[in-house]
Amino acid sequence: MSDKTKTVYKSLGLCGFGLGSNSAAVDVKDGKIVRIRPMHYGEKYNIEDMRPWKIVARNGAVLEPKTKTCPSPLQYGYKKRVYSKNRIPFPLKRVDWDPDGDRHPETRGKSKYVRISWDEATTICANEIKRIKETYGMEALLLQCDGHGESKILHAAHGCEQKLLDLMGGYTLQARQPDSWEGWTWGAKHAWGMEPVGKQGHVENLFMDIVQNGDCLIMWSGDPETTPWGWGGMMPGVLESFLTEAGIFQIFITPDLNYAAAAHADKWIPILPNTDAALQCAIAYTWIKEGLFDREWVESHSVGFDWFEHYIMGNEDGVPKTPAWAAPICGIPARQIKALARYWADHAVSIGHCAGGGMIRAAYSSEPARLEVCLLTMQQLGKPGAGQMNFMDVGLFGIDDIYPMPRSECQPDLNSVYHGWAMLTTPTNFIPKTLIPQAIMNPPVHWSGGHVIAGLPAEDQFIEWDFPQPGCPGIHMIWTDSPCWQTCWNGGNEMQRALRHPNLEFIMAQHPWMENDCLFADIVLPTTTKLEVHDISADLYGLNYNMLIHEEQAIPHVGDSLSDWECVIAIAEKLGLRDEYVEGTEEELIKKGFDNSGVQDMISYEEWMEKGYYVVPTAENWENDRMHLREWWKDADAEKFNTPTGKVEFYSTGLAKHYPDDEERPPVPHFIPYGESHQESLLHPRAKEYPYLLITNHPRWRVHANNDDNTWMREFETCKVVGPDGYAYEPIWINPVDAVKVNVKNGDIVKMYNERGAVLGGIRLSERVIPGAIYQDHGARVDSIVVGEFDRAGANNLICPSNTTSKNAPGEVTNSFLVNIDKVDVFELAKQYPEAFSKVYDKATGQIAETVIIDEEA
C-alpha cells in the first residue's frame, strides 16, 4: 500500500475496562476512514497453526471457529460515530460559570458553552483541583472513571486520572456496582456462591456438553442477537443457530419476542416483566407436588430444602405457589406452566443468559436469580446437558473457568500497562454508583453491601458503610471520563437535580461527544476515539480465538481533541506532576505490555509488530478440560461451593445470620411483588394510575448511549420513529390490544410517565410485546424539555426508580417498572416549550454539539 493508504487493526468493542473485543480491520486513505471490515485470522498466519477447534453435536452437526472476526453492525458503522456532528470540537467552558465569581449551578443542563484554549482549560482544571484540596481535602473530589465505552489500554477512558489524583493525595471513587449482574451478585451468590459475579462459575466445555447431551436450552430474559453486539460481536447468534442445527429445543421466556427469539425460538413463553419469580415458584411447586425431582440427590448437594419446600407449598404464608396462583400474576396460563415444568423434569435442560436481562435488573432481582439456582439444583445441576450458560462476558476478568467454549492457550493480559480502573479494586473512599445523587444532595448516606464492586466475595456484602466517612467533607467536585450516568443508571432525573446542586462547585468532563452528563459540566475537554490513538489491545470475547493486537493510529485527531491519557498529562503538567505521572512513551509501554501479556514466548515482538496481531492457538487437549460441574454432580464432596456450608443453599445461612428480618431478601427466596423499597407491580394500587410495566432492553442499534448519533444505525426502521415535526423519537412498542385502550396508532408520539417524570416516544404496534407491558430500549441520549422532569429523546433511565434493588442490596433498578402513556401533539408541546423545541437539530444525527456552542471564538 502507498503511504496514503493503509490498514490498521482495532478492537472495537464497547465493553470498556480494557477488555477488547469485536476486532476489525480499518482501511484508511488520505487520513480518512474508508471502511471497517472483519479481520481474517489467516491473512498473516496459517490457520492450522491456530489449532482450530471442533465441536460435534450428538446428531453429527459440526461447529468450527470462523475464519474471520465477527463484528456487528455497530462496528461496521463506527466511522460514522468517529465523524459525528456531535463530536466536541474544542475545549468548552459553560458560559455562565465563573471560577472567580458566580458559578450558577442551577443552570447546568440548560446553559450553553464558549470555546476556550487547551491552555486555559487545563489551567482552570488544575487550579480547581488545588482549590478543592486546600479548601476541603482531596476526598471532596468524586472520580467517575467507570462505564462502558471504547476499550483502550494506554489511553483508557476509564481511569487515567487515578494515578494523578493519588499523587495529589487521593479522591473519592464512584464504585460501580455489578450493573449487568445485579440479581446474580445480590441474590445467587447467597445460593451457590459462584465467583466472580454470581452466575455459574465453572462453565468449562459447557456448550459442548449442551449440544452433545442436552435436550433443551431455556433462554431466560435475554437476547443473544442484540445484547452481545457491543461486547463480543455476533458469535453468540452463531451459537444460537448451531443449537437449532444440533437439535436442541429452544424456549424463550421473555416479555417480548426479541430478535433472538424471533430467529431461534421453538417456543416463546411471554411473561409479564418482574414476575419471573412467580413462574419459578410454580414450577418448583409442580415438581414437589408431582414428585418430579430426586429428593435424595437434592438433599445430598444442598442445605435448607425443607425451608424452601415449606414456603413453596404455602405452609409459611397460607398461599401454595401453584400454577393457578402464578398464572394471573405472570400472564402465563396454568396449563402452560405445568407443561413447562413437566417437560423440564423429563429432559436435560440448561438455562442461557446474556448477563440476565430485565429479570436481573429489576426490583428485587435477587429473588429470581436465587430461584433459578434452586430450579437448576432440583433438576441436578451439572448432570449431562444441564447448566447455566452465559452468551456474553465469557472469560470475564481473564478467568478461564467462566469460558464455555474451547479455550485458547492464554488470555492475553495487559494489566501491566492498563491505565483504566480495575473493577476488582477495594477503594478506601467511595460511594456506590447507585447512591451518588443522595450522596451529593443529602448526605450522610448509609448502606449495607460493602464495596458494592463486581467480583468481590459475598462476605463483602455484609459490611455496613457510611458516606461521608469521618473527616471527609462531602462531594464538591466531579471529574468524569464516563459521562453517561443519566442514561445508563437508575433514577436519572434525580441525578440531573444532583448535578445542579449548589454543593457541586465544579464539574469537569472529558469525552469525544457532547451528550448526557457533558451537558451539565462546567468545563468539557474533547477526547479522541480509539481510531485516533496508538495503543495495544487484547481480543478476549470473540468466541473464536483470542488475539493480541498492535493498534496503530488510524487517523489524525478529530478537531482539537486529545486522548484521555493526554488530557490528564496536560493537567498533570499544570500541577507540576508530569514527570511523576508519565511512566513511559507509547512505544515503551506497548513493548512493556507485550512483554507481560503471556504471549511473549509464542511470538517475537518484532514479528508481532510487523504483522500487527497475533492469534493465540487453541489450547491442546482442550476437550479434556474439566466438564463444568460434572464431578460435583456425581459427588457433592468432590467440590465445595463458596457458601458458608460449601453446598447450594436453598436457605441462605449468610443472609439468615446478617439480615434475618429482611423481608425484601429473606433467607429463603420469595416472590416479592412489592414492598418497602418498590411498588413496581400490577398487583399494587399504583398500577391503577400507571398500568403498564416498561421493558427497557439493551438496544439493538447502540450500546447504552453509544452510537445513538450514528447516522447509519438511525436509518433502520426499528431504530427511531420520525414524528410529524421531523424529530426522530425513541420507539415505544405496544401490543395492539393495549393500543386500543389508549387510542394510539403506529407513528403517534406519546408521553410515557410516572411520578418520577416523563419522556417522549414514538409508537410501534406489535404483537411481539405481551399485553400489560410496553417496551422502549434504554440509553437514548438526553434531550431535556424540562431538566429533571421531562425529556424529549426517550431517555427512560430518567424515570427509573431511584431506590436500589432492595434495602440491603445497593444495585440498580432499570427495568420492569410502572408507567402510563398519553398521546401528545408535538406542535402544541412546541408552543408550550418553545426553547426546547427550537434547538438546532440534525435529522440524520439527532442532537449535535453545535446546539450548545454559542461563540466559537470567545
Mean pLDDT along residues 653-679: 98
CA distances from 816 to 179, 364, 378, 408, 696 (A): 15, 11, 28, 38, 7
The residue-averaged pLDDT of 234-249 equals 97
What is the model's pLDDT at position 856? 53
How big is the CA angle at 439 (ends 435 and 440), to the nearest 5 degrees?
A: 120
Residue 642 identity (one-letter amino acid): N
Cβ within 8 Å of residue 481, ≥6 positions away? 144, 145, 157, 158, 159, 160, 161, 509, 510, 511, 527, 564
Model pLDDT for residues 810-824, shown as the tens digit of each residue: 999 999 999 999 999
Round to whole Å and give the CA distance between 442 and 502. Answer: 12
Name which of 263-267, 487-491, 641-645, 661-665 the model is least confident about: 487-491
Pair 811, 179: CB distance under 8 Å:
yes
Listed residue (162, 44, 680, 745) closest to 427, CA to CA: 162
Q: Sorting pLDDT into bands at 50, 70 and 90, what band is 1?
A: very low
Beta strands in 440-588 (DSSP E): 445-448, 464-467, 477-480, 506-511, 523-526, 535-539, 546-551
Q: What is the pLDDT of residue 858?
A: 41
How far is Cα of residue 688 from the mean position of the Cα atoms in its chain? 32
Per-residue model confidence (pLDDT) at position 17: 82
Asked if 396 and 232 touch (Cβ cutoff 8 Å), the reply is no
CA distances, 573 to each of 154, 566, 582 (Å): 18, 10, 10
**Helix (H) or strand (E) segment spanning residue 324:** helix 323-330
CB-based burial, 703-737: b 16+ in 10 Å, e otherwise: bbbbbbbbbbbbeeeebbbebeeebbbbbbbbbee
pLDDT value, residue 377: 98
Query: At 734, which helix (H) or strand (E)?
Result: strand 731-734
Phi, psi of 338 (to 5 degrees): -65, -45
Q: What is the pLDDT of the chain when averaged over all its residues?
A: 96
> 775 and 146 in contact (C-beta within 8 Å)?
no
d(CA 1, CA 66): 27
Instruction: State the pLDDT confidence band at 208, using cuts at 50, 70 and 90.
Output: very high
Residue 439 reports pLDDT greater than 90: yes
Pairwise CA distance, residues 510 & 827, whole Å: 35
452 in the Ramachandran plot: left (φ > 0), alpha (ψ -120 to 50) or beta? left
Residue 807 near residue 664, CB atoms below 8 Å: yes
Range 589-615 average pLDDT = 98
651 in helix, strand or coil? Answer: coil
What percent of the chain stands above pLDDT 90?
A: 93
Average pLDDT (607-636) is: 97
Q: What value does the mean pLDDT take over residues 291-317?
A: 98
- Tens digits of residue pLDDT in 124-166: 999 999 999 999 999 999 999 987 889 999 999 899 999 999 9
Q: Measured between alpha carbons, how far is 62 from 249 in angstroms, rounded to an integer? A: 17
Query: pTM for this structure?
Result: 0.97
User: The dihedral of CA 540, 543, 546, 551: what is its sign?
Assistant: negative
Question: Per-residue DSSP letters for 787-855?
Answer: TTTEESS--GGGGS-SS-SBTTB-----SSEEEEEEE--HHHHHHHSHHHHTS--BTTTBS-GGGGEEE
CA dist 83 and 96 (Å) reads: 29
Task: With cut-offs at 50, 70 and 90, classify the pLDDT of residue 426.
Answer: confident
Coil, strand, or helix at residue 542? coil
Please list, in sequence order, all residues whose beta carbon lies within 8 angstroms of the beta carbon of residue 400, skipping any fewer than 6 positions away: 204, 407, 411
8 Å CB contact between 118 and 554: no
Q: Is there a cis peptide before residue 432, judged by omega within 30 degrees of 0?
A: no
Question: Which residues lie below 8 Å from residue 114, measured CB to CB, with a gap of 6+?
Answer: 92, 93, 95, 853, 854, 855, 858
Reported as a pLDDT band with limits 50, 70 and 90, residue 62 is: very high
Distance separating alpha carbons of residues 386 and 63, to the nearest angstrom = 20
Q: Could you tell me the pLDDT band of residue 470, with boundaries at 50, 70 and 90?
A: confident
Residue 810 CB partners (closer than 8 Å, separation 6+): 177, 432, 434, 435, 447, 448, 449, 452, 804
At 17-27, the pLDDT tens digits run 888 899 999 99
**What's the grid cell of residue 77?**
458503522
* pLDDT range class, residue 855, cuts 50, 70, 90: low
| pLDDT at position 523 over 50 | yes
Q: What is the rounded CA–CA span in Å between residue 551 and residue 352?
A: 34
If you search the block for the grid coordinates 434493588, which residue do you land on? 805
What secondary structure letter does DSSP report for 87?
B
Confidence band of 3 (pLDDT split at 50, 70, 90): low
CA angle 483, 273, 801 (to 5 degrees): 40
Task: Decide if pLDDT at 511 tops 90.
Answer: yes
Per DSSP, the residues of 99-155 read: TTS---GGGTTT--EEE--HHHHHHHHHHHHHHHHHHT-GGGEEEE---S----STT
Q: pLDDT of 103-112, one tens digit each?
A: 999 999 999 9
What pLDDT shows up at residue 18? 82
Scan for cell 406489535, then name that residue.
Answer: 766
Name the residue among 542, 174, 187, 146 with its Cα closest to residue 356: 187
**322 and 282 Cβ atoms separated by less than 8 Å:** yes
For residues 752 and 818, the answer to whether their CB atoms sit within 8 Å is no
